[in-house]
Chain A
Amino acid sequence: MKAGKSQTPSPKSQAEQLRETARMLLKEEKADLVVGYERGSSKRRARPVVIRDEKDVDRLIFDNTCGPSLVPFLRKTLRAAKGRDSKSQTPNPKAETSLRVAVVAKGCDGRALVQQVAEGQLKRDQVVIVGVGCNGMRDSRRASSDEKRDASCERCRYPNPPVYDVFVGEPVEVGTGDEFAGVAEFEKLASADRWAWFERELAKCIRCYACRNACPMCYCEECFVDQTKPLWLGKSAERPDTTLFHLVRALHTAGRCVDCGACERACPLGVRLGLLNKRLEQEVRERFGYTAGLSMEATPALATYSEEDKQEFIL
Chain B
Amino acid sequence: MPDNPYVPIPVRVQNVRIESDDRTLRTFDLAFGDDSEPFEYLPGQFCQLSILGKGEAAFGIASSPTERESLRFTVNRVGTVTTALHYLKEGEELGLRGPLGNHYPVEKFKGQNVVLVGGGFAFTTLRSLAAYLLANRSDYGDITVIYGARRPGLLLYRNELAEWEKRGDVKVHLTIDEPAAGWDKAVGFVPALAEKVRPSPKDAWAVVCGPPVMIKYTMPVLLDLGFAQDRIYTSLERRMKCGVGKCGRCNIGPKYVCTDGPVFSYAELASLPEGF
Contacts and interface: CB of A to CB of B under 8 A. Distances in A.
- Pairing of A with B: yes
Interface string B218-254: 0000000000000000000000000000000000000
Contacts of A229: 79-80
Contacts of B79: 228-229
Contacts of A228: 79-80
Nearest to A229: B80
A228 B80 CA distance: 8
Interface in B49-104: 79-80
Identify whether the interface residues of A are mostly helix, strand, loop, or mixed: strand
A15 B79 CA distance: 53
Contacts of A231: 80
Nearest to A230: B80
A83 to B, nearest CB: 22
A231 B80 CA distance: 10
Interface in A218-233: 228-229, 231
A240 B79 CA distance: 26
Contacts of B80: 228-229, 231
A185 B79 CA distance: 48
A23 B80 CA distance: 54
Nearest to B83: A229
Nearest to A231: B80
B208 to A, nearest CB: 23
A228 B83 CA distance: 13
A228 to B, nearest CB: 7
A222 to B, nearest CB: 16
A88 to B, nearest CB: 14
Interface in B154-174: none
A87 to B, nearest CB: 12
A268 B80 CA distance: 33
Interface string A38-81: 00000000000000000000000000000000000000000000
A57 B10 CA distance: 65
A228 B79 CA distance: 9
A167 B79 CA distance: 52
A229 B82 CA distance: 13
A229 B78 CA distance: 11
A229 B81 CA distance: 11
B240 to A, nearest CB: 15
A229 B79 CA distance: 8
A231 B79 CA distance: 12
A231 B84 CA distance: 15
Interface in A185-241: 228-229, 231
A229 B80 CA distance: 8
A86 to B, nearest CB: 14
A231 B55 CA distance: 12
A310 B169 CA distance: 83
Nearest to A228: B80
A180 B79 CA distance: 46
A229 B84 CA distance: 13
A228 B82 CA distance: 14
A13 to B, nearest CB: 47
A228 B54 CA distance: 12
B114 to A, nearest CB: 35
B32 to A, nearest CB: 31
B273 to A, nearest CB: 16
A282 to B, nearest CB: 40
A245 B79 CA distance: 24
B189 to A, nearest CB: 19
B272 to A, nearest CB: 19
A229 B54 CA distance: 12
For the complex of A and B, the 5 pairs showing the least CB-CB separation, nearest first, are: A229-B80, A228-B80, A229-B79, A228-B79, A231-B80
Interface of A: 228-229, 231
5 contacts: A228-B79, A228-B80, A229-B79, A229-B80, A231-B80
